Structure 1
Amino acid sequence: MNETNVDWNDLQLFLAVAREGGLSPAARKTGRSPATLGRRMLALEQAMGRELFVRHERGYALTAAAEELLGQLKDVEARLLRVSERAERDERPLVKISAGTWTTLAILRHFEQITGAPADVRLRFLSTETVLDIPRREAVIGFRNRRPSEEGLAARKLSRVEFAPYACPGAPDRWIKVLADTPSARWLEKRVDKDAVCEVSSPRNSLDLALAGRGVAILPTFVGDSETGLQRTGATIPDLAHDRWMVTHQDDRNRPEVRRTIDRLCDVMGQGR
């Protein structure tokens, strides 16, 4: 391989194609068209003098050379991410926290307890129902509903999460349906057809509507019980109960700012048994 002929931008695009398994999903990830990605991957193969992909109808499979390249680039990418994070730090080190809607809401209610007073960390909250890639440092600390299986991750079990139906007194006995890829939304989808008072795409909006007295929302008890305007309208739902895990990378968990944040989050969220 003549390394001087390899375009670093093509290597970044290669990472997307390799991880997504094809041009179309990589196009959605990168914002480039499948045709452009196809041309760039061909140019990369020509520059390296080796075949990187086995092309078939179902996507792009990696050759042995591509697997080797992918491993090398992961190491480079991790180093670049660490350099980038150091460059963007101010006097307070940055800690990125990934959590779902309800855990994020609970954390924000204890903001000063987690940042310290005065603040000695700078928090970036990434509220999402999807699991972010901690090995790639998309987040430094993540909350999950099951123990992680990825290599190199450390996990701590927190208090158990339970769900129940909540509404304001006198609210109509009709469900507020959430159109999201979450266990509670899927549970409700199986039981509610079109007889919902409203449909929302954000779980947080179901809480807003319940507080406004518009219907019944499925909420975690640590959220619903904290709202003085709401009351449980039924028992907890066994199918939705799960453990909560706090996850970080083995290489990050002993960084002072991460250690402090983890300890404070444990105080707020509660330790599991």
Structure 2
Amino acid sequence: MDETNFDWDDLRLFLAVGREGGLGPASESTGKSPPTLGRRMLALERRLGLELFERLPRGYELTDQGRDLLNKVTAIENRIAPLTDAEKLRRPVVKVSAGQWVTDLLCKKAADLVGGTSVLLRFIAADHVLDIGRREAVIGIRNRRPDQIGLAGRRIGRVQFAVYAVDSHVVTWARVIGTTPSARWLGEKIGGSPAIEVTNSRNALDLALAGAARAVLPTFVGDVQKGLQQVAPPIEVLEHEQWLVTHDEDRSLPEVRHMIERIYAVLRAAAK
């Protein structure tokens, strides 16, 4: 490809859409609106006579022709990067997706995760699973081995859950309204027992610390809380594996490889 025949800005936008996997995420990093990006990508495809993207309901997925162009444009980017101040100042973004409790733990260790790097770390706390294949996240913390083609996984350990309270005399439950396994388990268990309902798992911990309720918590959370104690054995049916997941094409990037190692160290220390 002769890059002198193209507007570099079009290629830069193509890189953003291709790497982020959609117009919305690319809009955040480029400052262009999704409709503008959509028009620019369509114009680029027509100019090249190539089909670069498969347009799906949840994002843009590169075709074989798109991946080939991405590799070529990345090579151009690497050659011209030292010549442009904007590229020299670019901070690689690493998006980390996990549930609320793991995100809280990683936030507490954020200084250790980013120390000595130029990485812009972005935490995405979500109970639903983000699609790493479409680059909704770069690194995901999951409760099972990845089975999607193109994803790589590294087993961290096991996560246990138990019931915590200031003492065993507390009978009111802190019930989290949600669809997580622990929320479903508690919803089935408590029946007509007294309960206080919350929509955020962090508030269940707050209620337990205040002595107002007992809460189901991961042991890596509950065991380190001053004033709380396990008031029942770990709940076997909620125990699960923990996996660190990323895309095969991303895990060799320096900033991603670096973050994988540091996140693994933090979570491995907390896992059983």
- Scaled by the length of structure 1, the TM-score of the pair is 0.67
Tell me, yes or no, if the aligned pair for 2:163 and 2:234 is still in contact at 8 Å: yes
> What is the alpha-carbon distance in structure 2 between the residues aligned to residue 254 and residue 192 of structure 1?
47
TM-score when scaled to structure 2?
A: 0.67
The runs of 5 or more residues in structure 2 that have no matched partner are 1-20, 23-53, 75-80
Superposition CA RMSD, Å: 3.2
Q: Could you list the runs of 4 or more consecutive aligned residues of structure 1 that deviate by over 2 angstroms after TM superposition?
A: 76-79, 86-92, 169-172, 193-197
Matches within 5 A, 1:247-262: 247-262=245-260
TM superposition shift of 1:90: 5.0
- Stretches of structure 1 that go unaligned for 5 or more consecutive residues are 1-14, 17-67
2:152 alignment partner, SS class? strand
CA 1:121–1:195 in structure 2 vs 1: closer, same or farther (change >3 Å)? same
What is the deviation of 1:169? 3.4
What is the letter of the counterpart of residue 250 of structure 1?
Answer: D
Is the Cα–Cα contact under 8 Å of residues 171 and 213 in structure 1 kept in the other structure? no
- For the pair 1:245 / 2:232, whether they are aligned, the reply is no
Superposed CA deviations along residues 148-190 of structure 1, whole A, max 9, x for unmatched, are 1111000000021000000123762221111111000000011
For residue 110 of structure 1, what is the aligned residue in structure 2? 109
Q: Who is 2:207 aligned against?
A: 209
Contact 2:171/2:194 (CA < 8 Å) preserved in 1? no
- 1:219-238 CA-partner distances (Å, limit 9, x unpaired): 00000011112111110000
Aligned-partner Cα distance in 2 for 1:140–1:112: 19
Residue 215 of structure 2 aligns with an amino acid whose one-letter code is: A
State yes or no: 1:169 paired with 2:156.
no
Identity value in percent: 45
**Alignment partner for residue 182 of structure 1, among 164, 180, 183?**
180
Distance (Å, rounded) in 2 between the aligned partners of 1:119 and 1:225: 31
**CA drift at 1:209:** 1.1
Pairs aligned (count): 204
Q: Is the 8 A contact 1:180 1:203 kept in 2?
A: no
The SS at the match of 1:206 is helix
Distance 2:102 2:88 in 1: 25
- Report how far residue 92 of structure 1 moved: 3.2
Residue type at the aligned position of 2:227? G
Judged with a 3 Å threshold, the aligned counterparts in structure 2 of structure 1 residues 215 and 258 are, in CA distance, closer, same or farther, namely same
